[in-house]
Amino acid sequence: MRNNLIYVHIEKVSHLTLTYGISNLDFFRGVKIKPQNLLSLGNVDPNQEIDIYSGFNMYLEEDNVQKFLLQNTNPNIDWIDFDEFNDLEALTPHEVAELLYLGHAYMHLKSPFYYKLQNNYVYLTLPNGAKRVYYRYLPHFYQILAVCLTNKLASTYREKKPFLRSRHRFQVLDTAIVKKIDSLLVDGTVFDFGEIQIKGQELSIPFFLAPDSVYQLKWHEPTMLIEKSKLVGKLKYYLNTAEWKLKILAPELLEDSLNL
């Protein structure tokens, strides 16, 4: 798989994002409301605390949640957060079955937001490493994406310019810029860091309108996303002023996405 691209597809009705290249660390750094407690929807680890009502491993309080998200040796984690420990005993067998289905099929049977749990997220990792994440407050995703793009640009630049590694601190991308291409994110957008351009103080990240390949990304390698995508524009970052700018090269593609 390519590790130099970020793919984003948003389904606004279901508050769902399908992404590739956004890590657990990107999520935790960027998310506005940190999960306080969570149930792991993956295989049960007998060495970790198990909730007797649902049979899932549980991680209580933010410190333990952070360790699970960031220090887990397996990056392919599936989980749902919840508000209070006492809420778990109110889960019915049918609701537990719905959670099992979420962790197995990577999709919801009914609303993935439970009144009893007061959850803000359902976080699922597909077999190819792509992420399906449900957000109670979908606008919070834009900050995660902004943090991810910033971190990816910084790490890519430092790989290409190792002798300048400590000279620049990168300003986080303003979410207002991300929202200007919101319609493209709904259709599917690829940011290709393999084709980043560095000209003096200017860094450019090309981004593309992806083909209709949501199924492909769910189950297969996402390499074809670049091969069949259409260049829309570039995200530009200026090292000397720590400013981000958006340059649209194919406005007709942006207009087409608005009309879909």
Tokens of 20: 């590739």
> What is the rounded CA–CA span in Å between residue 67 and residue 104?
23
pLDDT for 203-231, tens place per residue? 999 999 987 655 555 655 666 667 778 99
The chain-wide mean pLDDT, for the chain, equals: 89
Pick the residue with more confidence: 246 or 168? 246
pLDDT band of residue 1 (cuts 50, 70, 90) is very low
44 has pLDDT over 80: yes
2 has pLDDT over 70: no
> If you write DSSP's letter for every residue of 128-161 in order, what string do you get?
TS-EEEEESSTTHHHHHHHHHHHHHHHHHHHHH-
For the chain, the structural domain boundaries read 8-135, 142-259
Tokens of 6: 């970020």
Query: Range with the lowest mean pLDDT among 25-34, 55-64, 181-190, 214-223?
Result: 214-223
Tell me which residue has tokens 């994110």: 185
Assign 3-class secondary structure to 176-240. Answer: HHHHCCHHHHHHCEEEEHHHCEEECCEEEEEEEECCCCHHHHHHCCCCHHHHCCEEEEEEEEECC
Tokens of 148: 């991810």
Polymer length in residues for the chain:
260
Tell me which residue has tokens 């990107």: 26
Query: Range with the lowest mean pLDDT among 24-38, 49-63, 208-222?
Result: 208-222
> What is the rounded CA–CA span in Å between residue 207 and residue 234?
6
Tell which residue, 13, 222, 212, 14, has the closest CA to residue 126. 222
Local structure of 57: helix, strand or coil:
strand
Determine what percent of the chain is predicted with pLDDT higher than 90.
71
What single-letter DSSP state applies at residue 50?
B
Which H or E run contains 125? strand 121-125
Q: What are phi and psi of 207, to 5 degrees?
A: -130, 150
pLDDT for 66-87, tens place per residue? 999 987 667 789 999 999 988 8
Asked if residues 196 and 203 have their Cβ atoms less than 8 Å apart, the reply is yes
Tokens of 50: 């198990």
Residues 121, 25, 242: CA angle, nearest 5 degrees: 110
Tell me which residue has tokens 């593309």: 208
Measured between alpha carbons, how far is residue 67 from residues 60, 138, 184 in Å?
11, 25, 34
HSE at residue 14, side-chain half, CA atoms within 13 A, is 17
> What is the rounded CA–CA span in Å between residue 119 and residue 35?
8
> What is the rounded CA–CA span in Å between residue 128 and residue 94?
29
Residues whose CB is less than 8 angstroms from the CB of residue 106 and which lie 6 or more positions away in sequence, other chains included: 124, 126, 132, 218
| pTM, full prediction | 0.91
